Structure 1
């Protein structure tokens, strides 16, 4: 059915806008424990649309350095000029300027601790030491690439400004343009653009950054350029590119409510232009009105941006998520905050000895993957699919010492349900017959967690306590995990992860000796603490990534063999577990806690 929807669009048929429906959770208020600013959401303009402070804004050495680390933010043509205002006249030979603005790259760093200021010398010179993490390189195309330097601290020497001036000057600038992650958050907007997967059946998100001061006309121009240049290196193996010679002719223009985009594109068939129109509509989802696509000045297609989005939703329609947990080896619905929750879509004969589970909706069916414990304490995966309640199940042939929380890939191909699971510290693909196939990864080590994105074509992994993302190539029954990209984060010893938005992850690990939960962007750039000092290691984590843009995703987690929720952060009590048998409420023995919470959607 979903392939038919896509085919209809590409044939020029307009379908009912109701196909774009998407469930929205009842509770989406932001609750952040730590820094007040939330991580950037897809397509949010999180920048404050002001210029960063100048050289004379502060004479405090620590604040001066913070201001220096934001000076490069903004339009790239003036990046060197803004930075050099902070540099003493005698040191203006650094950093070396690039001749082309397209070559200007910003080295994004995260301050690990507050700057340390040494006592000033007799001539007023100060030394400021800044411990940093190398987050990545912000390129001219708005992507954040992997770090290229390994410096863990920078030592800045400052002197008072010359007579008649105020502020300080930097006398030993590094030969690169530095930008703090806080400046990236403050002076840039995050934008989500989309590329088709390999068979053009689903759009896959990609995150870009653009200075907040850029006006609408420029934003449209930049988005078209980004699509023409193609995906970033890490995502490229899992998506399709536009024809190699595609380029924008002049800038995008607007007359009244119509945008005009003029391209050079070889063999621009109606099919290719239909796909491009869908890409543009979703990559410009904050815009409305018409967009006229021209190929070498010839009008080829005019479409309404909102109508194009309504015609083909990004992903299959999703009902409101329902919460479940494991209680005494049985899956039960849970009710928190007045949310409604349906019955468990499984027969009682199967719903027993369960350790963790993943339930997903696929059209009119339910996909079920259960990790069950055998009498000898070893574990197997039980898989089933069909209308609720699911009655047909298959069990993996092999038993394992431990099996992690499974995840289903939200593929368009309903005939080949596929998921991923960690078993005995290795990643496996499983199918509807519970056939387990080991997947070889580009990074060796012990795999402890895996999570699939809402689009089903990217995954997050925890390997050796570090966080990774990777695109998938899906071809029927075959799933290929392309080369992994490591995300730089404050947390060490990461234990759990899930997707909380199109380009957001929520994950748990060690924060200066204490378990914590953080949120980060898919490139690791914008990181926000959500819950610090949890008190126990987080062993499982589940989020709902299909909520409204700009809202913190509802998520649940397990720690110390108990289940918790966010919004607000609190334990899930036994009284919130539904459909418990009478015997479980009787006295005599300690009642178990709900564990392994997850969402059905």
Structure 2
């Protein structure tokens, strides 16, 4: 099932609405209708609302904040027109205008309030804005890594003429700048889906669409995105539509009946069926019938809701349960009324455990245990089978430090595989505990890795920085694409996991104090979840499936100072909350918490 994060910083899901026919003749290029005003944050269906204008503030600092919020944000066809409203006539010629398809918006995060220099004798003010570069918002709705390295921008302003309260810019950066706040207020985050390499599972791809885009154009935009291909960093783990696939007409629809007309080479029944599933999941707000046409000839009709039911985006999820390591063994946790299950490991293997990753795969259990020897060196112990797992293999190689493993939730049932960081390197492993190093072009040692619910995206921590990468799994052979660095307000990142479909939870330092933040998979939106923790977070585990079986949405647990903690509410996990502890066990704190699902 598709999972969505609902936070104070992210816009809500689009509501169902009818599409009106666009009346474009057959075999025309897809056209984009005129632009409209940006929508108010949280407005349903892109309801137009007036964004800030140059006359809304007579104070230079607030004027610049409004400029970064409203000038370039929204539909691209009128981006320069909106920017010029904030710019004095004598300075407008310095803007290098581009075609709307070539416009890229530089997204920045304000690190502090703008610094205002008082007006000089000519009445000109100077405003300095310190920023963090977040990324480049492209015409296809993707947020690419930052293309600039400026840490501050300087603006000059004067009073408008005739004399009045309004201000105008006399010196403005040539880049079209928007703040991350504008990205939240005037855009909707949308997820489109591409098939993985063997076309057995859908993989999410996060995009942004101006809130003002009317309902009848959303289908057209999604079709254009799918035919245009995945985000750059995701390309390694997914399959593009056949070369030459493109929309012919704008998508049309009314009264629950939608039509998409494409040019698609070798459009056989299987390809059309897979495309229909992609569209059904990429347009979750739509219901009714979808007709797929190739060169204006109807080839396939599907019921969108039935398509989503018949072809789920991810495999069915088991009810999640919490575990931790207690006195060197994996033990279940008793948290409130949450589900509790027994340890799915044979007792003989459940010894000397430092950390663990245990996952369900249909009727099988996948278990990867980091175990410590008498000399303190660590090994990886791996097994799979029915609950409880009785057969384990232990890798003969020892390491000084092994991070918490992660299983890749691939549909390749015959070749279960995972990833783990060990002594600063990334390794892939299988159920026979064979380990092979994965080459990565990242700076610094790799200390943590986490796999997404779809199994084809990973997040990793290297050199104190956060990265995401696409993963291709073929016959048990794992191939990792070029990692994409993510921008965060946290420094010295130590741990990461997936807390939702397109959301990460990460631990690091905020103003030199350990903290936990939530971050979108492209780095666009970031919110603090826990600050002033008091000690470095050494492990972090989250449940990315939302509220299931009583488990609160956005649940995560972490380890700090050799103790385990949870959110919802924030609290230490007490010794008495650990179940099935044998008599004679050493009294200690639970550590290395994780979820089993």
On whether the aligned pair clears a TM of 0.5, the verdict is: yes
Aligned-pair CA distance for 1:335? 1.8
Aligned counterpart, 1:17: none
8 Å CA contact 2:72–2:177 kept in 1: the answer is yes
Maintained 8 Å contact 2:419/2:449: yes
Q: Give the 5 Å matches for 1:117-516.
A: 117-163=116-162, 165-516=164-515
CA 1:281/1:40 → structure 2, altered by over 3 Å: closer, same or farther?
Answer: same
CA distance in 2, matches of 1:41, 1:314: 20
Residue of structure 2 in register with 1:7 after alignment? none
Say which SS state the counterpart of residue 222 (structure 2) adopts: helix
**2:89 corresponds to:** 89
Where relative contact order (Cα < 8 A, 6+ residues apart) is larger, the structure is 1
Give, in angstroms, the shift of residue 133 of structure 1.
Answer: 1.1
Q: How many residues align?
A: 565
CA contact (8 A) 2:412 2:476 kept: no
CA distance in 1, matches of 2:408, 2:531: 30
- Conserved? CA contact 1:137–1:146, under 8 Å: yes
Query: Is structure 2 residue 588 aligned with structure 1 residue 592?
Result: yes
- Offset of residue 532 of structure 1: 1.3
- Distance (Å, rounded) in 2 between the aligned partners of 1:561 and 1:93: 61
CA RMSD of the aligned region, Å? 2.0
- Structure 1 distance, partners of 2:505, 2:410, is 22
8 Å Cα contact 1:52-1:73 kept in structure 2:
no
Please state whether the residue corresponding to 1:226 is helix, strand or coil. Answer: helix
1:123 is displaced (CA, Å) by 4.2
CA distance in 1 between partners of 2:329 and 2:472 (Å): 34
Shift of 1:165: 4.7
Unpaired segments ≥5 residues, structure 1: 1-19, 31-35, 586-590
For 2:167 and 2:87, locate their aligned partners in 1 and report how far apart those are by CA, in whole Å.
Answer: 9
| Residue 166 of structure 1, CA deviation | 3.4
The CA deviation at 1:571 is 1.1
Change (3 A) 1:369 1:519: same
C-alpha spacing 1:341/1:94, structure 2 compared with 1 (3 Å):
farther
TM-score, normalisation: structure 1: 0.91
Which residue number in structure 2 is paired with residue 529 of structure 1?
Answer: 528
Q: Name the CA distance, whole Å, in 1 between partners of 2:442 and 2:50.
A: 41
> Deviations for 1:449-484, whole angstroms, at most 9, x for unmatched residues?
000011001111111000001101111121111111
**Structure 1 counterpart SS, 2:87:** coil
Q: Quote the offset at 1:37 in angstroms.
A: 2.7
Q: Name the residue aligned to 1:37.
A: 8
Equivalent residue number for residue 72 of structure 2: 72
Asked whether the 8 Å contact 2:86–2:169 carries over to 1, the reply is yes
Q: CA deviation at 1:572?
A: 1.1
Alpha-carbon distance in 2 for matches of 1:152, 1:442: 25
Deviation at 1:95, TM superposition (A): 2.0
Alignment TM-score, normalising by the size of structure 2: 0.91
CA contact (8 A) 1:379 1:399 kept: yes
Unaligned runs of 5+ in 2: 16-38
- Contact 1:380/1:400, CA 8 A, preserved across alignment: yes
**Quick check: 1:39–1:527 contact (8 Å CA) kept in 2?**
no
User: How far off its partner does 1:124 sit?
Assistant: 3.5
Post-superposition shift, 1:580? Answer: 2.0
